[in-house]
Amino acid sequence: MILVTGACGRVGSRVAEILADKEIPFRAMSRTPDKLRKSEIVDVIYGDFEDPKSLDKAFDGVKTALVISGKAMPGKRCFTHKIAFDAAKRAGVEHIIYLSLLGSSANSVYGYCRDHYESERFLAETGISFTSLRNAFYLDMLFEKFGIDGILRGPAADGKGAFITREDVSQVAAAALLNPPIGVVEITGPEALGLKDIAERFSHLIGRKLDYDAETIDVARSRMQGALNDEWKRELEIEWFDAIAQGEQLPVNGNFKAMTGLEPYSIEQYFEEFPHVFDILRTRRAA
Ligand SMILES: NC(=O)c1ccc[n+]([C@@H]2O[C@H](COP(=O)([O-])OP(=O)(O)OC[C@H]3O[C@@H](n4cnc5c(N)ncnc54)[C@H](OP(=O)(O)O)[C@@H]3O)[C@@H](O)[C@H]2O)c1
């Protein structure tokens, strides 16, 4: 049996769709299972990383599981993943696919990269064979980072990232579920992109002038004082840009194609097939 956690999330629900299209039976785990549809091949179950008993039920009879990283403060989130990995161990799971992040290391400037590194250590400690997909930053994350004035602000300097689309992340996760474990693998999009270049290419596609303003870390920090209430969230946002400035979101590699047989989407191909995901860039404007 295959288990997909986070089945109501964007990656989890897309992975579920890909498996269902291939008519592969699986169990979908969610904190809100009522939102999911059961079928002859899809079993639905409640599960929360913070509720070990629910995980014992969710992992029961499972041989391969996709553990989609959850949402919590860096440094705390890895312990919720540990609860899931330990439950998988008790249930005799043979292969865990974990959704990690490119640049994961103990020394990363980005809190979530340090947290993913800790999660990977907890996973390795269980002795379960694993595939840890260190996905580059999602291209889709950028859509939400442009201000209502069409400016993307942040301290990424002129750094570049090997951004990958959320669709491709879902495709590679589904492929990993159907193949043997390969350990840690870095997954990137097709090219190294600077934020100025991205703003220009988005502008061209959506017909609206967008731009990138490379702030210093101090300027970014004072701007965010009013925007985000929690200090850790503000710092995390700054660190996201800084990881790009420091070159932690490189280099581009061919692992996506090797695992899926597909070419990763370029910005233009993604727009052509999934134009609606760019909508926020068109609609979020100053009044
Ligand atoms: N590389 C990147 O740039 C990047 C960007 C964004 C996110 N990510 C990571 O990739 C993951 C998937 O992305 P996404 O876009 O699909 O995010 P998403 O739509 O926010 O979905 C994340 C899902 O994680 C599940 N989750 C959260 N807390 C949980 C908990 N305590 N126990 C069990 N499941 C929990 C939830 O599933 P249910 O609602 O079904 O319970 C949630 O819907 C994110 O959670 C994040 O860790 C990476």
Q: Which two tokens stand for residue 202?
A: 């988005």
Q: Which amino acid is at 116?
A: H
Sheet of 42-46: strands edge to edge? 42-46, 26-30, 2-4, 64-67, 95-101, 129-135, 183-187
**Distance, CA 158 to ligand 1 centroid (Å)?**
29
Closest C-alpha to 133, from 93, 94, 179, 92: 179
Q: Which atom of ligand 1 is nearest to the CA of 166?
A: 15
Residue 100 in domain: yes
Note whether 102 and 162 are within 8 A (CB).
yes
Tokens describing residue 33: 């299972």
Q: What percent of the chain has pLDDT over 70?
A: 100
**What percent of the chain clears pLDDT 90, i.e. is strictly above it?**
94
Position of tokens 């609860």?
83
CB 188 within 8 A of CB 256: yes
Residue-wise over 226-236: b if at least 16 C-beta within 10 A, else e?
eeeeeeeebbb
CA separation for the pair 148, 150 (Å, rounded): 5
Query: Exposed (0-12), middle (13-18) or buried (19+): which is 107, by Cβ within 10 Å?
Result: exposed
Is 237 within a domain? no
Distance between CA atoms of 89 and 81, rounded to whole angstroms? 12
Kindly state whether residue 235 falls inside one of the protein's structural domains: no
pLDDT for residue 252 is more than 70? yes
CA–centroid distance, 9 to ligand 1, in Å, is 6
Asked whether 185 and 135 are in contact (CB, 8 A), the reply is no
Domain that holds residue 18: 2-138+163-188+251-264
Q: Which tokens go with 71?
A: 């949402």
Write down the pLDDT at residue 287: 67
From the number of C-beta atoms within 10 Å of its C-beta (0-12, 13-18, 19+), residue 139 rates as buried
Render pLDDT for 222-249 as a digit per residue (tens, 0 to 9).
Answer: 999 877 778 899 999 999 999 999 999 9
Given a cut of 90, whether residue 204 has pLDDT beyond it is yes
Ligand 1 atom closest to the CA of 13, numbered from 1: 16
Structure token pair of residue 1: 């049996």
Taking all residues of the chain, what is their mean pLDDT, rounded to a whole number? 96
pLDDT in tens, 34-53: 999 999 999 999 999 999 99
DSSP label at residue 136: P
Domain annotation covers residue 90 = yes
Q: Is residue 85, in this structure, part of any structural domain at all?
A: yes
Is 45 within a domain?
A: yes
**pLDDT value at position 275?**
96
Q: How far, in Å, is the centroid of ligand 1 from the Cα of 83? A: 16
Which residue out of 11, 57, 117 has the highest number of ligand 1 atoms within 8 Å of its CB and is therefore the one to mutate? Answer: 11
Ligand 1 binding pocket (C-beta < 6 A) is 5-12, 30-32, 48-50, 68-71, 80, 99, 101, 135, 137-138, 141, 166
Q: Could you tell me which of 164, 173, 151 has the C-alpha nearest to residue 12?
A: 173
3-state secondary structure of 229: coil
Is the pTM for the entire model greater than 0.95? yes
The reply to whether 206 falls in a domain is: no
In a domain, 126, yes or no: yes
Angle at 102 between CA 18 and CA 49, to 5 degrees: 60
CATH number at residue 102: 3.40.50.720
Number of domains the chain is built from: 1
